[in-house]
Amino acid sequence: MRRHLAIRGRLLWFEADPAFAGEAALRFIEDGIVLIEAGIIKAVDEARVLLPQLTREVTLVDHRPHLVLPGFIDPHLHMPQTQVIASYGTELLEWLQKYTFPEESRYGDPAVSAAAARFLFDELLRNGTTTASAFCTSHPESVHAYFTEAERRGLRMIGGKVMMDRGAPPALLDTPQTGYDQTKAAIERWHGRGRLSVAITPRFAPTSTEAQLEAAGALAAAFPDLPIQTHLSENEAEIAYVRELFPWSDDYTAVYERYGLVRRKALFGHCIHLTERERAALADHQASAIFCPTSNLFLGSGLFDLAAAREAGLRVGLATDIGGGTSYSMLQTAAEAYKVLALRGEKLTAFEAFHMMTAGNAEAIGLAGTIGQLAPGYEADLVVLDSRATAALRRRMQRAETLAEELFALMMLGDDRSVAATYANGKCVYDRLNTGPRLPERGDQLASAGRPQGTEAAQQ
Ligand code: GUN
Ligand code: ZN
């Protein structure tokens, strides 16, 4: 007999971008149920409507008073940088040479890659992130480890073999041909298997020769539906270097355009110092700019201009950029996004931020309609948030009178401690009060308040 799951809590999701649609974008059910069958959301409604319909084969998990949202999505991070995070004192180009490239050089070792993949997914799930788009390293071993671990856990993940054929230690370099072949092999092996997708991943223009960018463009043409991920316009010295390396190009974006790498589902990390022409070109091609605030602050790269991106009609995602970024938490990432924008005189409401972390990022990575909302037919990836998880949050919440206030305080003060549980593919993959992944069983009796109550629906 197949078991079904009913998750009860304060349900919150977004059907549109509140930056444009206002509060009409928001769906909130104070006491609701998400009914899940075989990893897919079957129904979402008020508890009073769904409770009487639950049969004996449904396990009801009561997360009240916690919020239940679509799982967070992190559209830009680096799987081999979990031991680079928090490395002192450099800007981008020196940081790459001094810390990042030596560390990534270790990932040809399958054991190193496997341990890093395990750590990364543990950490993402602990932070409520159920989908990420990750750069592996140039080594096929890192790609193998990443997808093997994601598949084992039933996660929806995007990853890519980094293509880089210059400007780094020999242990990290491929060639235009091997970069092409290894990416193609990864696509054939992993793309579309379970919930996995492969992204074509030229690291950035400075570490690829024109021959390699051409090879990446050939892959993009051969696989028109694949995501592409790279970096763009992060740092002034990087931009000057690109000007030197590609003297024929009018600007940085035009290098990628020339090789057919700017299109729908092309994710450009950073996009801080773009010109108006570049923003318009990215928007015309339906590409996505990925805002990585903790990284941009940590590396002193600059302040992303959200208003200019919106003005240009450019889709924007919000990401951690581990390990240039300094937090695995999308809540903390949103908090730093708010502060970056404050320094520019721009605003980010809590509704906009929570939309970005869920449906907005789903749209940015081309997965709208699959993940990012609580609606029938969507994959059942969920995060359960405790907005009173810490003493500071509890005290602040005594003065929070609206949902907007609660969410804003949660994003400013919250982190992994606010993630009460994470569900992926309809299963509990993280439960803060248990030590490991857990699927509630029939008749579970759990004592402490706020803890999921595995209760037999038919006994209600
Ligand atoms: N540009 C090229 N590679 C990287 C990287 O690993 N991190 C960041 N932040 N920028 C990059
Ligand atoms: Zn990056």
Tell me what percent of the residues of the chain surpass a pLDDT of 70.
Answer: 94
**Ligand found nearest the CA of 204:** 1
β pairing state of 157-160 and 196-198: parallel
Neighbours of 48 (CB within 10 A): 10
Q: 152-180 b/e with 16+ CB inside 10 Å = b?
A: ebebbbbbbbbbbbebbeeebbbbbebbb
Q: 123-151 b/e with 16+ CB inside 10 Å = b?
A: ebbbbbbbbbbbbbbbbbbbbbbbbbbbe
CA–CA distances in Å: residue 45 to residues 10, 31, 34, 59, 428: 11, 9, 7, 16, 20
pLDDT of 451 over the 80 cut = no
> Dihedrals φ, ψ of 225, to 5°?
-100, 0
Say how many Å lie between the CA of residue 58 and the centre of ligand 1: 46
pLDDT tens, position by position, 290-300:
999 999 999 99
Which stretch of 23-37, 104-118, 178-192, 445-459 has the lowest confidence by average pLDDT? 445-459
- C-alpha angle 147/139/113, rounded to 5°? 55
pLDDT tens, position by position, 51-66:
999 999 999 999 999 9
pLDDT the model gives residue 369: 97
Measured from the CA of 323, which atom of ligand 1 is nearest?
Answer: 7
pLDDT of 331 over the 70 cut = yes
**Ligand found nearest the CA of 84:** 1
pLDDT of 460 over the 50 cut = no
pLDDT tens, position by position, 270-289:
999 999 999 999 999 999 99
Residues 6+ apart with CB under 8 A from 346: 305, 306, 307
Q: How far is CA 306 from the centre of its chain?
A: 18
pLDDT of 94 over the 90 cut = yes
Helices (H) and strands (E) counted in the chain, each on its own, are 18, 18
Nearest to 124 by CA among 434, 419, 425: 419
Give the integer Cα–Cα distance in Å for 181 and 177. 6
Q: Do 138 and 172 contact (CB within 8 A), yes or no?
A: yes
pLDDT the model gives residue 2: 54
pLDDT of 450 over the 70 cut = no
CA–CA distances in Å: residue 46 to residues 146, 267, 426, 460: 38, 37, 19, 16
pLDDT of 458 over the 60 cut = no
Both tokens of 359, joined, read 């449906």
pLDDT the model gives residue 408: 98
Measured from the CA of 206, which atom of ligand 1 is nearest?
Answer: 2
Both tokens of 419, joined, read 């993630």
pLDDT the model gives residue 344: 98
Give the integer Cα–Cα distance in Å for 275 and 273. 7
pLDDT the model gives residue 3: 73
Residues 6+ apart with CB under 8 A from 89: none
**Ligand found nearest the CA of 232:** 1
pLDDT the model gives residue 45: 98
Q: How far is CA 37 from the centre of its chain?
A: 24
Say how many Å lie between the CA of residue 272 and the centre of ligand 1: 13
Measured from the CA of 231, which atom of ligand 1 is nearest?
Answer: 1
Measured from the CA of 321, which atom of ligand 1 is nearest?
Answer: 9
Nearest to 200 by CA among 229, 172, 233: 229
- Structure-model confidence comparison of residues 450 and 20, the more confident one: 20
Mean pLDDT of the chain: 94
Mean pLDDT value of segment 384-389: 98
Say how many Å lie between the CA of residue 293 and the centre of ligand 2: 11
Nearest to 263 by CA among 231, 213, 224, 212: 224
- List, as one string, the DSSP characters of 266-294: EEEEE--S--HHHHHHHHHTT-EEEE-HH
Residue nearest to atom 9 of ligand 1 (CA): 324
pLDDT of 441 over the 60 cut = no
Say how many Å lie between the CA of residue 81 and the centre of ligand 2: 10
List CB-based neighbours of ion ligand 2 within 5 Å: 269, 321
Mean pLDDT value of segment 365-381: 98
Residues 6+ apart with CB under 8 A from 402: none
Neighbours of 278 (CB within 10 A): 25
For residues 296, 299, 302, 308, the Cα torsion angle rounded to the nearest 10 degrees is: -20
**Ligand found nearest the CA of 269:** 2
Residue nearest to atom 1 of ligand 1 (CA): 231
Choosing from 74, 76, 78 the residue with most ligand 1 atoms within 8 A of its CB, the one to mutate for a pocket test is 78
Residue nearest to atom 3 of ligand 1 (CA): 203
Mean pLDDT value of segment 107-122: 98
Q: Helix (H, G, I), strand (E, B), or coil: what is residue 56?
A: coil
Q: Ligand 1: residues whose CB is within 6 Å?
A: 78, 92, 96, 100, 203-204, 231, 234, 295, 321, 324
Say how many Å lie between the CA of residue 323 and the centre of ligand 2: 8
pLDDT tens, position by position, 340-352:
999 999 999 999 9
Say how many Å lie between the CA of residue 185 and the centre of ligand 1: 24
Say how many Å lie between the CA of residue 204 and the centre of ligand 1: 8
pLDDT of 431 over the 60 cut = yes
pLDDT of 374 over the 50 cut = yes
